[in-house]
Chain A
Amino acid sequence: MHDLNNNLLEIRGLSKSFPGVKALDSVNFTLERGEIHALMGENGAGKSTLIKVLTGVHKKDSGYIKLEDKNFEASSPMDAAEKGISTVYQEINLLPNLSVAENIYIGRHPMKMGLIHWKALNSLAQKALSKLDLDLDVTLPLSSFSTAIQQMVAIARAVDIQAKILILDEPTSSLDMTECKNLFVTMQKLKQEGISIVFITHFLDQVYETSDRITVLRNGRFIGEYETAKLVRFELISRMLGKELEQAMESSDKKTANDISEKEPFITLDNVEQKGVLKPFDLEMREGEILGLAGLLGSGRTETARLIFGIEKLTAGTVKLDGNPVNITSPKQAIEQSIAFCPEDRKTEGIIPDLTVRENIVLPLQAQKSFFKGITRKEQVKITDRFIDLLKIKVSDREQKAGTLSGGNQQKLILARWMAMNPRLLILDEPTRGIDVGAKAEIEKLIFRLRAEGLSVLFISSELEEIVHICSRVAILKDRKKIDELSGDDISEENIMKILAQESRADI
């Protein structure tokens, strides 16, 4: 038990709902003085919502936040910073055209007779940076420095506003090894000065390297608070990915891996690479197979899907379809090769909210034909009604705007769109994220049915249970690289987590 007086920040029972989602469900968080505390969880776990409520971007629904035993409420991130909680975001929130000094003191310029006191400004900035062992020409524009330096400037600014708490949101995602090390040294230094740091990252190695304690969130709920030294990696991963759907799921008929593996693969990725994004890997898929991509956030799951669908171009390697090399450089070409893709971000990449349900379903079909050879209205209606019926999409009218549907129904709409095309390979990127349990089960059933019809599915999910339940083979990704593959009875949450928990070799 730690000393209560040592608690700098105390969050208890914090809840926050957005229309249709409970983003935070009675979350607790405790930050001690002078500690580095890692906040962990997959996408949608509630990390960013927690930070946003804390820093005044969102208003809490219930629960309390206490800073130094006093109720704390910020009206904006600026207000939060003035009250002692500063945040440095992943995408650095500074002004690239202004000088380093201006960036550190913007909004708090030292004044002299109503005018900005430039000399004082620059020397103060120099001093603030020297605290972080940084010596820069503070009059140069920020954009003339590397991302790592810009981040340091952001930290200098945050610390200079007399921060008691510094929140670092994915600070290392665009830094290289040495830059990371430098950042960690700075973090230790700040910690020694008594500043508490909330560290959000998806790199496990960094968590173990820097943090004192860990809080894990999952699906908006508080899972637990642990001392880093006492929590082994495997445990951490299992807490993060966890068992989600406890209710008995109908047993899947997936253990047919053996008969499938005798078939020839119809799509083969050979030594495929996207420089800077994905390290070279092989992958093959057979008809009637559901291949899962498992891995933590940032492991390269979505990137792999985007590469196969032609959104990104591969820089090396070959893709073969039925044994013939193909060069897919755009989604249009991928669709021509009977590949379909349901993106992770339904709202911005999937549906067209302003168009009707019917239009959203027939669009890709129409796009495959020439401009003038259309599908008659009658046919469109027939197709639309068939899929509304088949997938049980809840609509009041087929001419309803797609944006007015619920998340689950939007997902079904996108599935319907692709099913109408009869693809051979369907890529599903987090198809069940943010939709209710009922719709989830329906979508899973649908995937099984499609598989039975000979379709192959590439299934991406951050919920291991789902992967284990659905997939007949699983490729495991870590740090932008495929590290292993499991199939048939070897697929289990435990095996996947064991593979993920292996310390990354080499590299460091």
Chain B
Amino acid sequence: MKGLIKKKKILMASGSSEQNILYPWLAFVSILLFNLIFTDGFFNLEIKNGHLFGSLVDILNRGTPIMLISIGMTLVYATGGVDLSVGAIIAISGAMAAKLIRPDYVKGVLEYGDQTSLLIVLLIPLALSFILGLWNGFLVAYIGVQPIIATLILMTVGRGIAQLITHGQIIVFEHSTFQYIGSGFFLGLPFPIILVILVFVFTWALTRKTSTGLFIEASGANEKASRYMGIPVRMIKSLTYGFSGFCAGLAGLIITADIKAADANNAGNFMELDAIAAVIIGGTINGGRFSLAGAITGALIIQGLTTTIITRGVPPQVVLVFKAVIIIIVALIQSGKLRNKVSKLMHTGEKIS
């Protein structure tokens, strides 16, 4: 008990240093406002069989993979790196899970055999994802490969690995307990949302309630000075990549469990770019200070946009263009430089008048 109280008192440095996430929130709220006015029934929530349904829940639910990888990506970004391989890791993790459920499917055997235990279906893909992430971290921190190159390797090779696992086929499966990860409900909410909340709270506590967050920020803000202060910069970097891999692996499980199939070709395709956008929109732009809440908001903005556009019946081909425009706008608003310039312009305007 005493230990618990003591732990509570430990308020690590930088507990107060979450970046200002006002602007991303404004952007998200304006997306919601737009829908309030123009999309009928957008805010309708109904309970069917004790499960909550509605566009809002849908945004949260569909956004879970991006939110998860954004959490990992934020930490990688804070160390001054980037992780392009998360999309590929999603594919690998999903392929691995499906293969574990139906090991002989790729040989044309349609029978399941004994049902694989849930623990194995979860742990092996997650462990694999973590190790792949660590590999990225090793290349970056110990070998000195540029992050964009190091993770590009796995981005390219990873999809190949996923296809090797599935032999290029789409493995479909039934596994009632595993499917719960993707489409189950808990306390009326879709289970993936619960998972994101858990991961977020865990990561937040890890980085803000222990010194880990400060070490990450220090390593990203000034690597040399951090090393001279005895901070294990290399280990920290490697672990953030490992964690990013883990988050991607979890996202891969959610996606696979939801569609009851592993599609090595398309699962997580381009999702790394969405995650990077989410992180940047959320205010983590350089190595150093980072904001987890900002990244989640960024992910919500991106998913909110996608859902809005789809519910309004805009052809899906145009979705990307819309996304791009909104990302540019939010990124510009985020830029302190631009804000300064604008406020200066306003001031000079006042002087003239």
Contacts and interface: CB of A to CB of B under 8 A. Distances in A.
Interface string B219-231: 0011011111111
A363 B288 contact: no
Contacts of B215: 366-367, 371
Given A359-B13, A376-B10, A351 B231 contact: no
A331 B288 contact: no
A495 to B, nearest CB: 33
B338 interface: no
Given A355-B218, A374-B210, A366 B225 contact: no
A354 B229 contact: no
Nearest to A359: B13
A377 B230 contact: no
A332 B288 CA distance: 21
Contacts of A332: 227, 230-232
Interface string A349-361: 1111111101100
Contacts of A335: 229-230
A355 B217 contact: yes
Given A348-B224, A349-B224, A380-B13, A417 B229 contact: yes
B221 A354 contact: yes
B214 A363 contact: yes
Interface in A211-254: none
B12 interface: yes
B11 interface: yes
Interface in A331-389: 331-332, 335-336, 341, 343, 348-356, 358-359, 362-364, 366-369, 371-372, 374, 376-378, 380
Nearest to A368: B230
Contact of A353 (B11, B14, B222): B222
A352 B222 contact: yes
B337 interface: no
B351 interface: no
A356 B17 CA distance: 10
Interface in A435-459: none
A507 to B, nearest CB: 33
A311 interface: yes
Contacts of B203: none
A367 B216 CA distance: 12
Secondary structure at chain B's binding surface: helix, strand, loop or mixed? loop
A437 B211 CA distance: 37
A353 B228 contact: no
Interface in B289-344: 289
Contacts of B55: none
A374 B231 contact: no
A371 B211 contact: yes
B48 interface: no
Interface size, A (range):
35 or more
A280 to B, nearest CB: 25
Contacts of A336: 230
Nearest to B11: A377
Contact of A354 (B12, B15, B288): B288
Nearest to B232: A332
Interface string A189-203: 000000000000000
Interface in A303-352: 309, 311, 330-332, 335-336, 341, 343, 348-352
A415 to B, nearest CB: 13
B233 to A, nearest CB: 10
Contacts of A311: 228
Interface in B210-256: 210-212, 214-215, 217-218, 221-222, 224-232
A185 B225 CA distance: 43
A359 B210 contact: no
B9 interface: yes
A367 B231 contact: yes
Nearest to A351: B225
A116 to B, nearest CB: 32
Interface in B100-140: none
Interface string B1-34: 0000000011111111100000000000000000
Nearest to B226: A352
A25 B75 CA distance: 47
A380 B210 CA distance: 13
Given A331-B229, A343-B228, A376 B217 contact: no
A367 B229 contact: yes
12 contacts: A331-B227, A331-B230, A348-B225, A351-B222, A354-B221, A355-B214, A363-B214, A363-B229, A363-B231, A367-B232, A372-B211, A377-B12
Interface of B: 9-17, 210-212, 214-215, 217-218, 221-222, 224-232, 288-289
Given A351-B222, A364-B229, A372-B210, 12 more contacts: A331-B227, A332-B230, A336-B230, A341-B228, A349-B225, A354-B288, A358-B13, A363-B214, A367-B230, A371-B210, A371-B215, A376-B9
The 6 closest A-B pairs by CB, nearest first: A377-B11, A335-B230, A364-B229, A332-B230, A352-B222, A367-B230
